[in-house]
Amino acid sequence: ADTRVLFSQEESPAGLYVLQDSATTILNPSGPEARTDYTWSPDDRRIAFSSPGSPGSAQAGIWISDADAPASLHRLWDRGSHPRFYPVETLLVCAGPEDGRDDEGIWQMDFLGNARLRLTPVGVEPEISPDGTRIAYLVTTGGSTGRMMLVYHRLSMTRDTIAVAALRHAWLSDSRTLVYETM
């Protein structure tokens, strides 16, 4: 069985690693810095993560690599965070920067970063349901007790408010149930 683990290490040599058969491969030996929002694609063929920095800077943005050549990184967008893969389609979603500009919100893009579509005008930390029909995300409400959690329905393009003080969230395998932490 193919057993691979994706993990980050803060101590030197810091970076994002793949562990396979007792051997580690660093994805970003000379940058970009990886946030802890890294993820495998559902078919285990790709890895995506985001790197901090000002939008447009040299290393900020959404990065993707092929799992067979994990150190061959390709930047999809020069901004954004929290990339997540759809279960079947060759698309992913991410959050744009929360900076009050036109790039805020939840975005969908292809694996080349060419076809980018804004799904929502605001939001962070998108999580795709296992069947790919819904995207849960968080929106700042101005309070200190968490964020409002909404669900975007891809077929109807509608949004429902689910919770008003969510901190973290995840889908269960039925694609209908969300588990979330609140304060």
What are the distances in angstroms from CA 24 to CA 6, 19, 67, 71, 142? Answer: 10, 4, 13, 11, 42
Ranges 1-5, 66-70, 160-164: which has the least confidence: 1-5
What pLDDT, in 10s, does the model give residues 79-103? Answer: 999 999 999 889 999 999 988 788 9
Q: What was the pLDDT predicted at 145?
A: 65
Ranges 69-73, 159-163, 174-178: which has the least confidence: 69-73
Q: What was the pLDDT predicted at 144?
A: 64
Q: What was the pLDDT predicted at 68?
A: 82
Q: Token pair for residue 41? A: 């694609």
Residue 1 has pLDDT above 60, yes or no: no
What pLDDT, in 10s, does the model give residues 5-60? Answer: 999 998 888 899 999 888 898 988 888 899 999 999 999 899 999 999 988 898 99
Residue type, 11: E
Q: What was the pLDDT predicted at 143?
A: 63
Instruction: Name the DSSP letter for residue 131.
Output: T
What are the distances in angstroms from CA 44 to CA 14, 37, 69, 111, 142? Answer: 23, 16, 12, 14, 37
What pLDDT, in 10s, does the model give residues 99-154? Answer: 878 899 999 999 988 889 999 999 999 999 999 999 999 998 766 667 899 999 99
